[in-house]
Structure 1
Amino acid sequence: MGKKKEKKIQHYSSSQKILLVGEGNFSFSACLAKAFGSATNMVATCLHSKDALRRKHQSSGPHLAELKSRGCLVLYEINVCDMNQNPSLMSMKFDVIIFNFPHAGHCGLNETDRLLIE
């Protein structure tokens, strides 16, 4: 059985071990998994519990199903400030860590507003 062909999407490659931190509704990680055809090289995390995620990001269901079907490890309740103490992550090594610009949670402002950036 031959080795799978490497797929590249911009800065990312299916041959890299990728950690996705602070995924909101997991749409980015699901998109990456679809483009690679697999997510066995990916670990996707979010700050929320599974239940809180479902309430906060109702659109996350299909994205999580996509990730699961493609072999992604999804971890809940992972805070970026102390994730190095998480038993599931402590022994893992990654080639790439992706922390997309987090949503600041302010109503009425968007991520380009100077007040919010400051």
Structure 2
Amino acid sequence: MLPRRLLLVGEGNFSFAASLIDGLDPSVSVTATGFQHRAALEGDPVALENLKRLRERGVEVRFGVDCTQLSHALPADDRDFDRIYFNFPHCGRKAGVAKNRELLAKFFQRQEKSM
């Protein structure tokens, strides 16, 4: 059975999302989210090109989304996803292993309660 709705969390410059949509059936609905706000990506030509491709394909893009607080970013009636992808979970370059583990623990704990 093909997935109908996909949620992508933790997108950086939206490269994963832009690559993924090339191989998806056009009927699959994709919501791509990133922690950064749109303004933070303005100086990144790769991110801007990826966002353009996503919008042309009809992908919903949300900025400023904390993956440990998805219930704040997604209304209760908009949380029915077939798959959730967290392609490269990390807190940043110098966060360290402990912080990254904490991020993943919070992500999974919150999804059990809210999704």
Of 91, 100, 106, 2:77 maps to: 91
**Cα distance, 1:62–1:100 mapped onto 2, change above 3 Å:** same
Deviation at 1:89, TM superposition (A): 4.0
1:68 paired to 2:48:
no
- Counterpart position of 1:117: 97
Deviation at 1:80, TM superposition (A): 1.1
**Which amino acid is the alignment partner of residue 65 of structure 1?**
K
In the other structure, the counterpart of 2:68 is 81
Query: How well do the aligned residues superpose, as a CA RMSD in angstroms?
Result: 2.4
- Aligned mates of 2:91, 2:8 — CA distance in 1: 18
Residue 5 of structure 2 aligns with which residue? 17
Percent identical among aligned pairs is: 31
AA in 2 matched with 1:43: T
Shift of 1:67: 0.6
> Distance between the aligned counterparts of 2:4 and 2:25, measured in 1?
14
Partner AA of 1:42 in structure 2: V
Partner residue of 2:31?
Answer: 43
List runs of 5+ in structure 2 lacking aligned partners.
99-115
Deviation above 6 Å: which 4+ runs of structure 1?
none
Normalised TM-score (structure 1): 0.69
Return the offset for 1:47: 0.7
Provide structure 1 residue ranges, at least 5 long, that are not aligned to the other structure: 1-5, 7-12, 108-114
C-alpha distance in 2 between matches for 1:39 and 1:104? 32
Report deviation, 1:39: 7.4
**2:88 maps to 1:101:** yes
With over 3 angstroms needed to count, the CA separation of the structure-2 counterparts of 1:89 and 1:19, relative to structure 1, is farther
Within the candidate set 30, 36, 42, 1:54 is matched to 42
The structure that has the greater radius of gyration is 1
Report the alpha carbon displacement of residue 100 of structure 1 after superposing the two structures with TM. Answer: 1.6
The answer for the alignment partner of 1:110 in structure 2 is: none
